[in-house]
Amino acid sequence: MTIATDKASLDQWYVIETEAALPVGTSPNRLLGVDLAVTTTEDGDITVMAEGRAEPLPIRKRFGFVWTSLGEPAGEIFPVPEADEPDRRYVPCGAVAVKASGLRIIENFLDMAHFPFVHTDILGSEPHTEVEHYNVEIRRDVDEVWATNCQFFQPQAALSATDGLMTQYIYRVMTPFTTLLYKTCPNSANRWDVICLFVQPLDPDRCRAHPVMYLIDDVSTTPALIQFQQLIFLQDRIILENQRPVLLPMEPRSEIPTRADASSIAYRRWLKEKGVTYGTSLMNAA
């Protein structure tokens, strides 16, 4: 059992479950190598206890999820303004268990280069394999990583898309284990679809991924939207669970980056600056 010791990982808010999925009574959960007991009353009150601790953990309810922390977060959960727009479809897509570092999942989410090869004829296809130049920065005022001016040709960018289109993307990493993307909305020329990914690290090499979408789509059924997103994620899971090393490499020159890996380079630099070691190759040295 490997418990997180670095404050950068401990002092974050993490999703542990959707509010709707918590049963009345006490259910087991896990976060950063620590077993949790989540108790829900019939009135909807929630208490989260961590093994070895006498006091309950702090909790928040946001985006339809229950969040908690093993440390002392510096602030509240990051804002996603689109989540509060009344005409958007709120589509939680379930939890997917992945035998990989949670940081690997975030990095994979940022990677456009794999679209034609992993999500063939959906998010990419040959011969449209080039990742065009995009901009990436660590925004110090909000302490987030942003990649802008991203674009990629996609045969079916969304369930509601009827033809292939050059899809515009903006990526945003809010915390080490949470990210989202804004992408071209096929149903509205001046708005973005929003796809969030909240990763719950169970252990350094094992996690649960919680995707949720905020869409402008009044045609597709909710089951069809969930099935489309889960198809994408399950294709990614095959790759993630076969990546070696399992933990995210942080040493210089441990992997050879290319121009398409600008987001990954910035993300790893940001993690290192913050002192994140849980789920990385630096754990044993911490």
Report the range of poorest mean pLDDT among 59-63, 100-104, 237-241. Answer: 237-241
At 127 the pLDDT is: 57
At 198 the pLDDT is: 98
In terms of pLDDT, which residue wins out, 243 or 70?
70
Backbone phi, psi, residue 65, to 5°: -120, 160
What pTM was computed for the model?
Answer: 0.89
What CATH number has the domain spanning 7-68?
2.20.25.680
Please state, rounded to an integer, the average pLDDT across all residues of the chain: 86
At 260 the pLDDT is: 44
Tokens linked to 178 = 């949470």
Q: Are 73 and 12 in contact (CB under 8 A)?
A: yes
Backbone phi, psi, residue 114, to 5°: -85, -10
Domains 7-68 and 81-285 are alike in CATH topology: no
Confidence of residue 284 (pLDDT cuts 50, 70, 90): low
Strand partners, 207: 98, 201
- Quote the CA–CA distance of 283 and 286 in Å, as a whole number: 5
Domain ranges of the chain: 7-68, 81-285
At 42 the pLDDT is: 92
At 58 the pLDDT is: 97
**81-285 domain in CATH 3.90.380.10?**
yes
At 218 the pLDDT is: 83
- Quote the CA–CA distance of 46 and 68 in Å, as a whole number: 11
Q: What share of the chain is helix, strand, coil (3-state, %, to 5)?
A: 20, 35, 45
Residue pLDDT, tens place only, 92-132: 998 999 999 999 999 988 876 555 545 444 554 465 555 56
Beta-strand (E) ranges in the chain?
A: 14-18, 25-31, 34-40, 46-50, 59-62, 65-68, 89-92, 96-98, 135-139, 144-154, 165-175, 178-184, 192-203, 206-215
At 121 the pLDDT is: 47
Residue pLDDT, tens place only, 255-279: 554 444 788 889 999 999 999 999 9
